[in-house]
Every structure is written in structure tokens, then in C-alpha cells.
Structure 1
């Protein structure tokens, strides 16, 4: 058995909301690890993925804006600007299916390997996997292999937010 890499450990801690001290206590045999994750539910702005590309639903920073957003109760998040999108179509299968809701966090750090929602300068909004990121390019892998992967110059991307939760 191998120990996980520091990068893997950091991803687990980030995904679970646990502190390094909690993990260390668990490794040392502690019976109880404190749960620092937010509890309860939050009302989040919700819009369909197909509508998200239309102008007026996001401000320049990529935060929900304007009228036309519904509200949905989903697991609580610590990002006050988090929002939810309803999946439509099959372009994200098998990961996300028609009718699934995803919670997107503008504040969450985005790393290679994360599932993200991206808005291009043309106004297209898409959910993809961030496969490579350099100072000049962003490469995205389609969640459905039937759809093409995409590559953008960084100046062609208005914003990129991490998907932090999905109802499946």
C-alpha cells in the first residue's frame, strides 16, 4: 500500500472541507474527527444550462445577475455567489444527465482535473473538464466522448467556475 501524494491529500481535504489537523488525528487513531462542513441547505439561484449562454444572466465577473433566475434548495455552500444550473441535452453524459442540477462556485479554486463551467467571449456556456491550463491557453475535455474537446486562448474565456456538487 502506498501513501497518497501531497497533491491527492490536498484535493481530498478540499473536497471534504476537512482540516489537515483532522486528517492527522484520524491517522493517529482518533475516534472522532470534527466535521467543519457547512450544514443545512441554501437557496441558490437556478437557471437552465441552455439559458445560461444568453446575455443578462451573469454580470461581468460571472456572478448571477438580472431577472429570470429561479431558486432551488440545495446543500449549503460557503460561497455566497454560488449558483445552480440544470443540465439539458446529452452533451455531458454519462457524467451529468438531463435534469441534473449542478452547483457552481465562482470562489472555488480551479485546478487541472476539475469539472468546470466556462463562458467564452462568444457567450457560449459549457461544462467541461479542465485538462490543461497555461498562461496563454485553456484546454477542455468534453464529458461526453461523442463531443469534441476544446482549446481556447485565455483571452477567449470570460470566466471559469468550478462545479462543486451535482444532484445525481
Structure 2
């Protein structure tokens, strides 16, 4: 059974899939721009949940060129058809095609087949240089996710507040910050306060 939270999470993921915001998705669907806003999700007194209409969902899906099966897949977090957005990691360094939370934005992403299931927000970045050796080589495709929980020992991509971005091994995680180990064993670990981190995504799969 789908819950109120499930449906609205699906709307948010649908907007992200369409590379826009919930209000942008509503406008694209020919609806009032506030239709999918957080303020519309509960009653004015904050006590009763409010649900989007089936008509508004249908219009939003049509605007994103998806159907209700796709919407169900977005809600569950399992992409339908095994496709991911992808681009070169070096290009992403230069052009920063991410929103403030680290999700893909802009037109310069391509859809690629993915042989398996991944979280609904997953995307792929292709290594183009030798900076990640000896762990990753040019041509390796890294599938990353913000929804996948991060644990000590995971390999992650971190973007700092100054927009610099790099891949690391998560060596320690506290309420104040993280300790990161580079892939090159000759380089030292660094301690990074959470205040300097814009976003962190876990590398969940690698095609080598």
C-alpha cells in the first residue's frame, strides 16, 4: 500500500528525473506552480495530509514522458528499464552539471543501459584520467547514489563548498566531520569538517 510519504517522494523524484524542481515540473505540466510545493502536502493547520490528484500526477508524468509504471518505479527507488544518466567525470569537474544536492542537472547527460537495479537517484561518472589509480582506471564507470547510506570503508565522491570534487575512501565519520583516505597509498589522509562539504555520494557499483 502506498503511503502519503511514498506519493510525494515519487513526485520529488519525478521532478529530479525531469531535471527540474517540483514547481518547475508543475509549470511544465500546465498546472499551478505551487501544486507540488511542500506547503500543499499538508492542511493549513498542519494536521491533515493532502494528496496530489490523479489528474495532476498524470499531467506531470506526461510532461516528463513517463507512465504510471515508471512512477511506481520512482517511488520504489528501482529504475525501470535499467537506464542511468551518465557523463565523463572530467567534464563534470569543468562544468559542474549538478544541483546543490549533487544530483544531475542540465542537458549534457546521456542515458546508458545499466545491467541491474540501482537507487532511483543513481547516476554514472566515467573516469578519464589516472588520478584514481590504482583503484580505478580510465574508462571505469562509477555508479554513485546519494540515497545509499555511507559507512566507514565505503568509497565516496565528495564535493566541497568551494566546488572542488574528488573520490575518496571514507575512513571515519563523526558528527563534526569525516576523515578521508586517498586511493594513492603514498598520499596522506585528510580531515574534513561537515561545514566544508556540499554533498557526498557513495560509489555503489563500478564497471571495469
- TM above 0.5, yes or no, is yes
Q: Partner residue of 2:152?
A: 112
- Deviations for 1:92-114, whole angstroms, at most 9, x for unmatched residues? 11211011001001110001110
Provide the rounded CA distance (Å) in 1 between the counterparts of 2:187 and 2:112: 29
Provide the rounded CA distance (Å) in 1 between the counterparts of 2:182 and 2:91: 19
Residues 43, 144 of structure 1: CA spacing in aligned structure 2 closer, same or farther, 3 A cutoff? same
Where is the strand percentage greater, Structure 1 or Structure 2?
A: 1
Q: Partner residue of 1:121?
A: 161
Provide the rounded CA distance (Å) in 1 between the counterparts of 2:116 and 2:105: 20
Structure 1: 4+ residue segments shifted above 4 A? 38-41
**TM-score where L is the length of structure 1:** 0.70
Provide the rounded CA distance (Å) in 1 between the counterparts of 2:135 and 2:80: 25
The alignment status of 1:96 with 2:136, answered yes or no, reads: yes
- Deviations for 1:121-150, whole angstroms, at most 9, x for unmatched residues? 111121110001111121111112244433
Provide the rounded CA distance (Å) in 1 between the counterparts of 2:199 and 2:149: 12
Higher relative contact order (CA 8 A, sep 6+): 1
Structure 2: stretches of 5+ with no match in the other structure: 1-77
The alignment status of 1:82 with 2:108, answered yes or no, reads: no
Q: Secondary structure at the match of 1:67?
A: coil
Structure with the greater alpha carbon radius of gyration: 2
**TM-score where L is the length of structure 2:** 0.58
Pick from 76, 83, 88 the counterpart of residue 48 of structure 1: 88
Aligned-residue CA RMSD in angstroms? 2.0
Does the aligned pair in 2 maintain the 1:115–1:130 contact within 8 Å?
Answer: yes
Q: Partner residue of 1:4?
A: none
Provide the rounded CA distance (Å) in 2 between the counterparts of 1:89 and 1:158: 24
Task: Report how many aligned residue pairs link the two structures.
Answer: 131
